[in-house]
Structure 1
Amino acid sequence: MPQPPLRVFLALGLGAAGLVATLVLALVASRVASERLEARIEAELGDLAATMAGRLDRGLFERWRDMVILAENDTIRDPAAPVERKRRALRRAQETYPDYAIIGMIDADGWVAATSTGALEGIDVAHRDYFTKGRHGPFVGDVHDALLLASLKPDRDTTEPPRVLDIAAPVRDDAGRFVGVVSGHLDWAWARAAEASLRESAAGQRDLTPLVLARDGTVLLGPDSLRRTGLPAELPSVAAARAGHSGTATETWPDGKRYLTGYRPTRGYRDFPGLGWTVLVRQDAGTAFASVADLRRQILLWGLVVATVAAGIGWFAAGLLARPLRRLAVAAAALGRGEPAAVPASAVREAQAISHALTAAADTLKRQEEERRAADDRQELLIHELNHRVKNTLATVQSMARQTARSAASLDDFTGSFEARLLAMSQTHNVLTANHWESAGLRGILSAELDPYAGGRADRIRLDGPPISLAPAVALPLGMAIHELATNAAKYGALSVETGQVAVEWGVEWQAGTGMLSLRWRETGGPTVAPPARTGFGTRLIRTSLERELDGEVRLDYAAAGLACEIAVPLAARTEAA
């Protein structure tokens, strides 16, 4: 299958990168702009709900104040004033405030003494809330059906009774005696006027539906399908408004549709405490956020246009880069075959740099071949060195096994001693391997052997000396010697009891450019020491590995207070030591 040319790869890559970057930017811009627009739309709907709630509160306050002012009318307050005069005062009040269906004066016993229309006079209303509560102070009752008013107009267009709010205030004479109550029945059409005013102020927004809910959740004002019914209390907007909050919510209503709903509880105005209504202004979510969706489409459309232009620019730029690279590839292939090649010049700086590099490559081929041969020689030398070290290690293990077997009392004794010595050798190998078999730190070798005996106590093992790097030929025998000293201390010496301590001190003396390592091992706090009756394998191993192999010196002092061992070895092992 033929591979596509570089220009296709570059054009697709640059075009895809431009497309992705542009689309990401477009999506981010769309998200930010959409969120801001949605926030503005939600705020506007919340403001509409607040506006209508304020109008209702202020309107009821004004009607409440109408009754308070009317109760101060001299004619109304005068018990001796003729009924006709009181009727005229009530009629003038209704003409001034036409939102009232009827205004009446109720005497102190609860009988309707006079009304603005002359109707309902002589009726006993002593049991009505507007009388029982209005006699004690200004009163506003919630919306209800006015059955008495319906009976006055049997020719009304609808069979439903008119809906009114009862507003009342007590009437007292000059002496402060209670003489009655003035009461006005405010037609609910007053609230529909507030709704119409709200729609006018939001003429630019479609499908707005204001709703007014009573304290118990009954819909007082709203669509016919919801009127006189109750909305679910768990509806987010209703629940939030009942909790005293204001704002907006996108929610699913009982009709299954999604609406953006602004909500605001009524809070009264000045002295008027309010009726605990909730005002909702809802709008179909699709209609409310139509401008947001349109904005997103426009941003994405322009993003696609910009991305397409970016892909075209990428195709053109890829062609400028691919042509000189193609010529450079031909020249590089010729150099790879060892043939002379004319490296073309290029107007692209990077391609020109490649041209210079190819020219220099022809001059370095010979030098690289020489370096390769030298590397082969070094590798062969390393292989011989590795073979040599492996043989030495195997010889050491063989000798160690033979000597351990001679001094072992049983097979278990041989197995334990031999494994411990192999482990000591492997620990030194680990330290050397970590340093690529170039050197090993003396402190690291000592720590690897002695740390297991410290038991978590800092005073049990003390190491004191300068940093020293040992060659592998010195590190391995010295590590075995330290292991034997540590094993002997753990079995018979200071490390066999809790109070014992081991101190290792070392230093280097330089003579004629050659360093001599001096190491002192000293045990204290252990059992009383006595010279051994015979020389064990451990002692022979120490002397063999240090004195014979390294041309060093070992002195053992079996003092009663604790064993002391002084070791002196040259830092550069003899060439024949291996």
Structure 2
Amino acid sequence: MLALATGLLSFAAVVAAGLLASRAATERLHQGAAAELAQAARHVADTLDRGMFERWRDVQVAAAHPVLRNPAASPEAKREVLRLLQRTYPDYAITFLIGADGRIEVTSEGILEGVDVSRRDYFSGGRAGPYAGDVHEAVLMAKHLGPRPNGEPPRFVDLAAPVAGLDGRPAGVLAAHLFWDWAEGVERGVLEPMRVRRPGAEALVLARDGTVLLGPAALRGKGLADLASARAAGAGETGARLESWPAAAGGAAEAFVVGHAPTRGHRGYPGLGWTVLVRQDSAAAFAAAGALEREIFHWAGAVALFAAGIGWLLAHAATRPVRALTAIAERMAREPGAAADAERAAARLGRGCLCHEGAALGAAMACLIGSHRRAAAALAAEEARLREGEERLRAVVDATPDCVKLVGADGALLRMNPAGLRLLGAAPEEVVGRPVPDLVAPEHRALWAANHARVCAGESLVWEFDIVAPDGRRRSMETHAVPLRPPGGGPLAHLGVTRDVTERKAAAERQALLVRELDHRAKNALAVVQAALRLTPKDDPHAYARAVEGRVAALARAHTLLARARWAGADLRAVAQGELAPFLGAAADAPGAGPRAELDGPALDLKPGAAQALSMALHELATNATKHGALSVPGGRVSLSWRVNAASGELRLRWAERGGPPVEAPPARQGFGSRVLEATVRGQLRGRVSRAWEPAGLVCDVEVPLAQAVPPLAA
């Protein structure tokens, strides 16, 4: 019976362990498949947003080109600019300049010129500001382009931006048709590497109303707004779910694992409300989990049978001395004179088996009292040693700087060392006996309860969770938990060593944010330098070099200020001092006359992007004053003041020159520095610039929305 019971228990234990391992592994594989599809959907959505932002920004930059803004420029010159824009990105189908009357003036392809597009959304939207239109089939372009390589009629995404004349008045709209094939390239670029692991994975792009814009041919143009994944993505959620999809041609519904993510726009580009779904047939998605589950069952069965056999052998070996002693006792009962033989047989049994019971039975009664006395003395010594060890252990636990706690199987806190009480800022009577989940942050209670149950089942775990102390403080914790049976018996509890990792996590998040911000700022600085190199007039090489050097130096000064503040921002006064430093001290040619530049305004931290833009704007004003204005003569002065208008939500700066060459009238044409000032303030900061050429000198007012200039808390 013992051998049979041991074999059955071994078999049951191994099978149970196999079932638990199979369930855990299968669940992790299921979660991994869903997480990978959700990540792919997020990646496709982010790539679409960034690609649209780049094209949206391309059109805005091109709309500021001096040739397009000049009504006197020839059509050929304007067409060359449009062709240059089209060559920068092959997926532009056509770029065209529309006049203020709504008729196409010039196109990159030389077609459709003179056509009236005043009723098109891209014209009306482009007049109001940067515009992006949703996917649509070609109307005017279909007969000129013909079908695409995939056999379908061409489809476009419209992009447009207003074109201001050299006098600053609206002069028309620059528009571009972007082939929708571009999105298919995005989908392939993201999903091709994943299809090695997820064969059959498909990406779908849905319009705001749920219509399929990109996806399998059988689904294009159909509405999928009723799908749970589409509704979740429409509500701004990113994730994955298992759901049923209607089959094509009226067949049975199919089950898919679907990752979903919304497009949220990027930087200034607001997005078009697209939804990205990445789906895979559920059988294919979970195929690896099924194979692993079958393999675990096979191995668990084999190991269980082997363990049952070993248990049978061990039980048989363990009961052999008992069977032999039983035989000796039966012989003594039958043959009283055979005691000597029985004693020798018991001694031989003790020497030849794993246990000493056979040899001990002969002398047991003779030494029973002495053995009892020695055992009592040994027990007393052992108890003293245990008490001493317990005191040492208690001293170590009380002195450790980490929180050490004992949690019962029901989740109640049984004991906590002084370091844990200091961490919570509570007295023992406030927390001991209280359920630990009451101290855990609400969103982490389910995780804590699940892991506590696993520890009480015999596992050792490490996990992180947040707590809310009795005084309301929230901290992030890392706990190492092991199962422990409390004194006096009872169900397993868990012993946990918990460490406060709030500062460590915050430091890691700050470091990751700093790396992303550094990458972002480096790209922005390179883009601005590239624009300065491209747009600075190149007629005079020396002047070109000085102009580029001055503008790059202005960016470098702003970059230095931002780097000192770890890209949190820069003080406006420090930015102004960097650009006007030569004129803030006493004039060298007139000792005692005081500085030639004055600054007046409150302390104000700028956003990194606003600091760079205003540094460039002040550099252009200072350069103009040095060449033509008040700083070009010894007695000239410049004052820069700024104020915050809380009522209108604007930052207002005034640049005023006096004592310079007399100003009789505004300049006949707008110089490049003025164009840079306009593009910087209006294009980057969405502000306004107004200049007045008064007899005393130039007065320039700059108004910038606070939301563009300063961080939200400062605003």
TM-score by length of 1: 0.56
Give the deviation of 1:321 after TM superposition.
3.6
From 79, 82, 85, give the equivalent of 1:87.
79
Pair 1:290-2:280 in alignment? no
Amino acid at match of 1:21: A
* CA deviation vs aligned residue, 1:98-151 (integer Å, no higher than 9, x gap): 111111111101111111111111111101000011101000000011122112
Equivalent residues in 2 for 1:284-323 (5 A)? Answer: 284-323=281-320
Give the deviation of 1:158 after TM superposition.
6.9
**Structure 2 alignment gaps of length 5 or more:** 248-252, 366-715
Equivalent residues in 2 for 1:360-399 (5 A)? Answer: none
| Alignment correspondent of 1:239 | 231
The 3-state SS of whatever aligns with 1:261 is strand
Distance 1:314 1:156, change over 3 A: closer
| Alignment correspondent of 2:488 | none
| Alignment correspondent of 2:208 | 215
Q: Which moved more, 1:327-336 or 1:216-225?
A: 327-336
* CA deviation vs aligned residue, 1:333-389 (integer Å, no higher than 9, x gap): 6678897876663445779379949x99xxxxxxxxxxxxxxxxxxxxxxxxxxxxx
| Alignment correspondent of 1:196 | 188
Equivalent residues in 2 for 1:87-126 (5 A)? Answer: 87-126=79-118
Amino acid at match of 2:209: D
The 3-state SS of whatever aligns with 2:302 is helix
For 2:221 and 2:193, the matched residues in 1 are separated by: 26
Pair 1:352-2:361 in alignment? no
Amino acid at match of 2:234: R
Give the deviation of 1:331 after TM superposition.
5.3
Distance 1:294 1:155, change over 3 A: closer
Equivalent residues in 2 for 1:389-428 (5 A)? Answer: none
Q: Which moved more, 1:207-216 or 1:284-293?
A: 284-293
Give the deviation of 1:204 after TM superposition.
2.8
For 2:4 and 2:58, the matched residues in 1 are separated by: 79
Amino acid at match of 1:143: V
| Alignment correspondent of 1:229 | 222
| Alignment correspondent of 1:572 | none
Give the deviation of 1:162 after TM superposition.
1.0
Amino acid at match of 1:243: A
For 1:64 and 1:272, the matched residues in 2 are separated by: 7
Distance 1:263 1:169, change over 3 A: same
| Alignment correspondent of 2:136 | 144
| Alignment correspondent of 1:517 | none
* CA deviation vs aligned residue, 1:498-556 (integer Å, no higher than 9, x gap): xxxxxxxxxxxxxxxxxxxxxxxxxxxxxxxxxxxxxxxxxxxxxxxxxxxxxxxxxxx
The 3-state SS of whatever aligns with 1:167 is strand
Give the deviation of 1:25 after TM superposition.
1.6
| Alignment correspondent of 1:56 | 48
From 159, 166, 170, give the equivalent of 1:174.
166
- Retained in 1: the 8 A contact 2:135–2:157? yes
From 258, 278, 293, give the equivalent of 1:281.
278
Give the deviation of 1:203 after TM superposition.
4.6
Amino acid at match of 1:75: V
Q: Which moved more, 1:150-159 or 1:191-200?
A: 150-159
* CA deviation vs aligned residue, 1:185-210 (integer Å, no higher than 9, x gap): 10001101101111233253221111
Q: Which moved more, 1:133-142 or 1:153-162?
A: 153-162
For 2:117 and 2:338, the matched residues in 1 are separated by: 119
For 1:64 and 1:219, the matched residues in 2 are separated by: 23
Give the deviation of 1:277 after TM superposition.
0.8
* CA deviation vs aligned residue, 1:548-569 (integer Å, no higher than 9, x gap): xxxxxxxxxxxxxxxxxxxxxx
Pair 1:36-2:33 in alignment? no
- Retained in 2: the 8 A contact 1:324–1:351? no
The 3-state SS of whatever aligns with 1:81 is coil
For 2:6 and 2:337, the matched residues in 1 are separated by: 35
Distance 1:340 1:98, change over 3 A: same
Give the deviation of 1:292 after TM superposition.
2.4
Give the deviation of 1:247 after TM superposition.
1.1
Distance 1:340 1:187, change over 3 A: farther
For 1:55 and 1:180, the matched residues in 2 are separated by: 31
**Structure 1 alignment gaps of length 5 or more:** 1-8, 361-578
Distance 1:45 1:63, change over 3 A: same
- Retained in 1: the 8 A contact 2:325–2:358? no
Equivalent residues in 2 for 1:503-518 (5 A)? Answer: none
The 3-state SS of whatever aligns with 2:166 is coil
From 179, 193, 196, give the equivalent of 1:187.
179
For 1:337 and 1:60, the matched residues in 2 are separated by: 102
For 2:213 and 2:306, the matched residues in 1 are separated by: 58
Give the deviation of 1:330 after TM superposition.
4.6
For 1:159 and 1:27, the matched residues in 2 are separated by: 52
The 3-state SS of whatever aligns with 1:168 is strand
For 1:153 and 1:59, the matched residues in 2 are separated by: 23
The 3-state SS of whatever aligns with 2:106 is strand
* CA deviation vs aligned residue, 1:379-412 (integer Å, no higher than 9, x gap): xxxxxxxxxxxxxxxxxxxxxxxxxxxxxxxxxx
| Alignment correspondent of 1:163 | 155
Equivalent residues in 2 for 1:416-455 (5 A)? Answer: none
Matched residues, percent identical?
Answer: 47
* CA deviation vs aligned residue, 1:449-499 (integer Å, no higher than 9, x gap): xxxxxxxxxxxxxxxxxxxxxxxxxxxxxxxxxxxxxxxxxxxxxxxxxxx
For 1:155 and 1:268, the matched residues in 2 are separated by: 30
| Alignment correspondent of 2:269 | 272
| Alignment correspondent of 1:18 | 10
Give the deviation of 1:322 after TM superposition.
4.3
* CA deviation vs aligned residue, 1:278-318 (integer Å, no higher than 9, x gap): 11111222222233233333333332232222112122223
The 3-state SS of whatever aligns with 2:271 is coil
- Retained in 2: the 8 A contact 1:15–1:307? no
The 3-state SS of whatever aligns with 1:106 is strand
Distance 1:210 1:156, change over 3 A: closer
For 2:147 and 2:262, the matched residues in 1 are separated by: 37
**Structure with larger RCO (C-alpha < 8 A, sep 6+):** 1
TM-score by length of 2: 0.46
Give the deviation of 1:73 after TM superposition.
1.2
| Alignment correspondent of 1:132 | 124
- Retained in 1: the 8 A contact 2:239–2:260? yes
Distance 1:341 1:144, change over 3 A: farther
Give the deviation of 1:323 after TM superposition.
4.0
For 1:155 and 1:47, the matched residues in 2 are separated by: 34
Give the deviation of 1:74 after TM superposition.
1.4
Give the deviation of 1:32 after TM superposition.
2.7
The 3-state SS of whatever aligns with 1:202 is helix
Give the deviation of 1:44 after TM superposition.
2.2
| Count of aligned pairs | 351
- Retained in 2: the 8 A contact 1:331–1:341? no
- Retained in 1: the 8 A contact 2:156–2:177? yes
- Retained in 1: the 8 A contact 2:148–2:154? no
Distance 1:20 1:119, change over 3 A: same
- Retained in 2: the 8 A contact 1:251–1:261? yes
For 1:340 and 1:124, the matched residues in 2 are separated by: 130
| Alignment correspondent of 2:242 | 250
- Retained in 2: the 8 A contact 1:58–1:269? yes
